[in-house]
Structure 1
């Protein structure tokens, strides 16, 4: 792959650019953004080699789409219209069903690979890009059988070379599972931050009393609403299901508190400690 075009040179797109360039210095990375200032910043940070437009995609070996998922759904068909027969388009969206659906009958569906590299931070924009973000991280690939084998083989080798583990899943299963392990945690963080801000009108009290536990729990509340609102919209039914289960557990915990049943509370927390064994080596 010689010419790689990245649409959306922020945290994910920029971090991919860093790692790909480090592994393959001969690759020319082109940046595409609706904001010219974003591309100027990406150039200044050496994330990209050149600015480009959507019309330049006719020259692409690989196009990486890393923009909000609603924008991906709108743009993806026209991007596939432009991609040459020898080129591949991949996306990095946190939802997959709607994205796969919009191109299921596209004549160049074989030139698209749906994926979700599960990595990131709460920061956004070109300055948020960091090296080695994807080392040891899982890259979920959906509907791999619908992508031309030679094209997917090259792309998957590229992503493996920068440290990703590849796992295959259908779009519906991906969206259901990611609602639990990612989307719910972001909602919890946003709502905890909202609860504290509304309750503690004197912000100084928050800053003085906040410890590392609070800081780590609300870290995700600093994430971009522009990115996360479309994710929640596209994955609405799965997110509602996870919220209902979460609220049930919170209500149960509150009822135990009201009943002074602290033995049961201890047992609930003790059983939940098992999560550390499941996540060992992941976080």
Structure 2
């Protein structure tokens, strides 16, 4: 691989996990970390997620820049990063929304140096301590507007993704944001609101958590996710998120009405029909 210096802006779960994979596959690469949180930089160094601390201006020396910060920060930071990097450098973001990030640099002089990606992997944890080796193996990486990235830089990125064991899918930014609202953003909202409902109820019924089993724990797992990361995602993808919420609320209302009417035959059939989700999701870890 022709990449020698990789700069990771945001040394948390995603940025740190990419760093761990790349370093594991090529120990000769130098990994530099840039982060607004000094504690995260210190932890990333101690955990050997990165080799060196750096500042934003240092990306002028980068062969490859990974932008792994909240999506609202990415939109502000990406043009500045492109201003700083060399003509041969690749800049990649990993955000969960793609329309705004692509629009903000559509007329940038170095648009050819940017690749919009979304590796669909993660956990409910954040920070350098959450970074995992092998997080992306057999996971899908959605790439948007690849035709706008210089061909030699496309090749560089695809080589890295390949050795990380990722599957590649190509989409336009609008389609990505619409579909991801259903399979990711709605899941997080559901977890947050289920957790809120139980916490509100727990104020009056202290025994509720004593009765919470593994089903509850797995369902609200995503409610542990960082609000600082997810609030900007919901804001950027507002229209699609609202559409998915309206459909979800409609289904919940319908389900409640069937129970109220004691139409348990329909309740059974709807749950039985939904069981086929296990076949659709077969193979997903």
Question: TM-score, normalization: structure 2?
Answer: 0.98
Give the structure 2 partner of residue 237 of structure 1.
239
Give the structure 2 partner of residue 185 of structure 1.
187
Task: Find the partner of 1:7 among 9, 19, 22.
Answer: 9
Q: Superposition pairs for residues 188-267 of structure 1, below 5 Å?
A: 188-201=190-203, 204-267=206-269
Alignment partner of 1:19 is 2:21: yes
Alpha-carbon offset, residue 271 of structure 1: 0.3
Q: Stretches of 4+ moved more than 6 A in 1?
A: none
Q: What do you get for the CA RMSD once the two structures are aligned?
A: 0.8
Unmatched runs of 5 consecutive residues or more in structure 2: none
For 2:78 and 2:171, how far apart are their aligned partners in 1? 20
Alpha-carbon offset, residue 207 of structure 1: 2.7
* Secondary structure in structure 1 of the residue aligned to 2:115: strand
For 1:190 and 1:76, how far apart are their aligned partners in 2? 29
Number of matched pairs: 283
Deviations, residues 205-247 of structure 1 (Å, cap 9, x unaligned): 2331110100000000000000000000000000000000000
Alpha-carbon offset, residue 202 of structure 1: 5.3
Give the structure 2 partner of residue 279 of structure 1.
281
Deviations, residues 130-179 of structure 1 (Å, cap 9, x unaligned): 11100110000000000000011111110111111011000000000000
* Secondary structure in structure 2 of the residue aligned to 1:56: helix
For 2:188 and 2:9, how far apart are their aligned partners in 1? 24
Alpha-carbon offset, residue 282 of structure 1: 1.3
Alignment partner of 1:138 is 2:144: no
* Secondary structure in structure 1 of the residue aligned to 2:36: coil
For 1:204 and 1:92, how far apart are their aligned partners in 2? 41
CA gap of 1:102–1:210, structure 2 versus 1, over 3 A, is same
CA contact (8 A) 2:202 2:209 kept: no
Q: Superposition pairs for residues 9-88 of structure 1, below 5 Å?
A: 9-88=11-90
Alignment partner of 1:124 is 2:114: no
* Secondary structure in structure 2 of the residue aligned to 1:9: coil
CA contact (8 A) 2:188 2:223 kept: yes
Alpha-carbon offset, residue 204 of structure 1: 4.5
* Secondary structure in structure 1 of the residue aligned to 2:252: helix
CA gap of 1:26–1:239, structure 2 versus 1, over 3 A, is same
For 1:206 and 1:18, how far apart are their aligned partners in 2? 40
For 1:52 and 1:182, how far apart are their aligned partners in 2? 32
For 1:263 and 1:160, how far apart are their aligned partners in 2? 48
Alpha-carbon offset, residue 201 of structure 1: 1.2
Deviations, residues 81-109 of structure 1 (Å, cap 9, x unaligned): 01101101000000000000000000000
For 1:230 and 1:35, how far apart are their aligned partners in 2? 18
For 2:40 and 2:265, how far apart are their aligned partners in 1? 54
CA contact (8 A) 2:6 2:66 kept: yes
